[in-house]
Amino acid sequence: MTEWKKIEPKFWKPEKVDDEVSGVLVGKEENVGKFKSMVYHIERNGEQFNLFGSTVIDDKLKYTKLGDLVRIVFKGKKKGKNAEYDDFEVYKSKE
C-alpha cells in the first residue's frame, strides 16, 4: 500500500542575521503576485520551502539550475544608493 505525505511548503522569511535555508532547488516561478516576483522552491529532508526573490537573490540564483544544492543566508539590511535593502549570501554546492 502506498504511503502518502501531505505537501505543505513553508514560506521562508529570515528574522535575524545569519538565518539560512538550504536544500535542493526544485523549482522557480516567474511573475508571482502583484510585484511580479520570482519564487524559488527548495526541498530539504522531505520538507519544502518557498522564498520570494529579490534583486540580490535573483542576481545570485541565476547562476544555479534546478537540481543544484543551494544555501541562502540573510546578512541583514544594507544601505544602497537610494534605499535600504535585504542582503543575502547565496552558495551552490561544488558537487
Digit-by-digit pLDDT tens for the chain (95 residues) are: 899 988 888 999 999 999 999 999 999 999 998 989 999 999 999 899 999 999 999 999 999 999 999 999 999 999 988 999 999 999 999 86
What is the helix (H) or strand (E) element at residue 40, kind and residue range?
Answer: strand 37-44
Maximum C-alpha span of the chain: 59
Strand partners of residue 40? 28, 51
- In the numeric block, which cell numbers belong to residue 70? 543551494
45, amino acid identity = N
Q: Per the confidence metrics, is the pTM higher than 0.85?
A: yes
Q: Any idea what DSSP says for residue 57?
A: H
Residue with cell 526541498: 43
The confidence score (pLDDT) of residue 94 equals 81
Residue with cell 527548495: 42
Contact assessment for residue 3 and residue 46, using Cβ atoms and an 8 Å cutoff:
no
The confidence score (pLDDT) of residue 33 equals 86
What residue ranges define each of the domains in the chain, with the CATH number in brackets? 10-92 (2.40.50.140)
